[in-house]
Amino acid sequence: MLRYLLRRLLALIPVLILVSLISFTLVHLTPGDPVAQILGDDATVDEIERVRHDLGLDRPVYEQYLIWVGDALRGDLGQSIYVNQPVTSMIIERAEPTLMLAIVALFFTLIIGIPSGVIAAIKHNSYLDQSLMLLALLAVSMPNFWLGLNLILLFSVYIGWFPTGGYTPLGESVVGAFKSVMLPAIALGFSQAALVARMTRASMLDVIRTDYVRTARAKGLPASRVYITHALKNALLPTITVIGLVLTVLIGGTVVTETVFTIPGAGRLVVNSVIRRDYPVIQGAIMMVATAYVLINLVIDLIYVYVDPRIRLS
């Protein structure tokens, strides 16, 4: 097990190096001038030149890359061109809202998705099953920012239960933090909930049809006991891999959701930085997200290996 872990960790390194190369290349191929954004519409040529030089943007690209890598390994991801603050602290500041959003969305996904899937499987082919699955399909087919906009309109502007946007830090108010994250988490998690529901339903059905379950039923054990105690445990196994995937999709999805709901998270930071051509921030944020991605996948794989005796023993 330990060797497996080490092997996987070592395999991560070339991937991360490649990621940094890809993102650096992309970022520096991008046309457009970060300085222009800062200085305003009427900026003169001299002003723009002066600032570019001050920021070291006239050095060759490979030099900039090596400098960046050296600093990054020491934990210094550079200075934002736009707001003149250290990238590392900017990202850490924004980690909380994004994580809150992703975790609450995940929670929502599981709370809605798993029971729906189970019920649909148990009531297979019934009216309930089919309407749940159709709803799931609709949820998956909807652009999630469109859903978000409608949610804001309904719940924030008309009904007024939730704020229209922004994020209240946990430190300030726990209730406030949850309220500010609720609508975006729903918008974000809705389509994933649908996928989890479908997945759970499918694997529940598989399990229900297996011999041992049919035997248990034939023996006269009550349905609920059979399904919940025996079937569900095994049905949830594939769902665990799905959780990892869902989490990564959610983190990716925060990009658009944070923009719609004006949440000062990491996703929105990346979007804004791309638009502003704030190279150090783009680079740093992408590395952090990519690292988080591969680590999450690794953890999920490890959990799966641990939990599934078939794999563990092989």
Q: Name which position in 57, 71, 164, 304 contacts other proteins (CB under 8 A).
A: 164
Q: 173-232: which residues touch other proteins (CB under 8 A)?
A: 191-192, 195, 198-199, 201-202, 205-206, 209
DSSP-assigned letters across all residues of the chain: -HHHHHHHHHHHHHHHHHHHHHHHHHHHH--S-HHHHHH-TT--HHHHHHHHHHTTTTS-HHHHHHHHHHHHHTT---B-TTT-SBHHHHHHHHHHHHHHHHHHHHHHHHHHHHHHHHHHHHTTTSHHHHHHHHHHHHHHHS-HHHHHHHHIIIIIIIS-SS-SS----TTT-HHHHHHHHHHHHHHHHHHHHHHHHHHHHHHHHHHHTSHHHHHHHHTT--HHIIIIIIIHHHHHHHHHHHHHHHHHHHHHHHHHHHHHTT--SHHHHHHHHHHHT-HHHHHHHHHHHHHHHHHHHHHHHHHHHHH-HHHHH-
Q: Name which position in 181, 242, 288, 300 contacts other proteins (CB under 8 A).
A: 242
Q: What angle in degrees, to the nearest 10, is found between the helix axes of 2-29 and 61-73?
A: 140
Q: Is 31 in the site for other proteins (CB under 8 A)?
A: yes
Cβ 28 to other proteins shortest distance, Å: 9
Q: Name which position in 1, 3, 158, 171 contacts other proteins (CB under 8 A).
A: 158
| Count of residues of this chain found to bind other proteins when the rule CB under 8 A is applied | 111
Stretch that binds other proteins, among 24-32, 107-115, 218-226, 298-306 (CB under 8 A): 24-32
Cβ 62 to other proteins shortest distance, Å: 18
Nearer to other proteins, 104 or 253 (CB): 253
Q: Is 311 in the site for other proteins (CB under 8 A)?
A: no
Q: Is 137 in the site for other proteins (CB under 8 A)?
A: yes
Stretch that binds other proteins, among 20-28, 67-75, 105-113, 228-236 (CB under 8 A): 20-28
Q: Name which position in 64, 78, 79, 82 contacts other proteins (CB under 8 A).
A: 82
Stretch that binds other proteins, among 17-25, 71-79, 106-114, 302-310 (CB under 8 A): 17-25
Stretch that binds other proteins, among 67-75, 144-152, 216-224, 304-312 (CB under 8 A): 144-152
Q: Is 77 in the site for other proteins (CB under 8 A)?
A: no
Which one, of 257, 280, 100, lies nearest residue 188 by Cα? 257
Cβ 136 to other proteins shortest distance, Å: 8
Q: 47-76: which residues touch other proteins (CB under 8 A)?
A: 47-48, 50, 54
C-alpha angle 94-96-100 in degrees, rounded to nearest 5? 130
Q: How far is CA 34 from CA 23, 249, 276, in A?
A: 17, 29, 5
Cβ 167 to other proteins shortest distance, Å: 8
Q: 250-289: which residues touch other proteins (CB under 8 A)?
A: 251-253, 255-256, 259-262, 264, 268-272, 274-277, 282, 286, 289
225 near 198, Cβ under 8 Å? no
Q: 83-122: which residues touch other proteins (CB under 8 A)?
A: 83-85, 90, 93-94
Cβ 2 to other proteins shortest distance, Å: 22
Cβ 55 to other proteins shortest distance, Å: 10
Nearer to other proteins, 76 or 96 (CB): 96
Which one, of 125, 35, 47, lies nearest residue 80 by Cα? 35
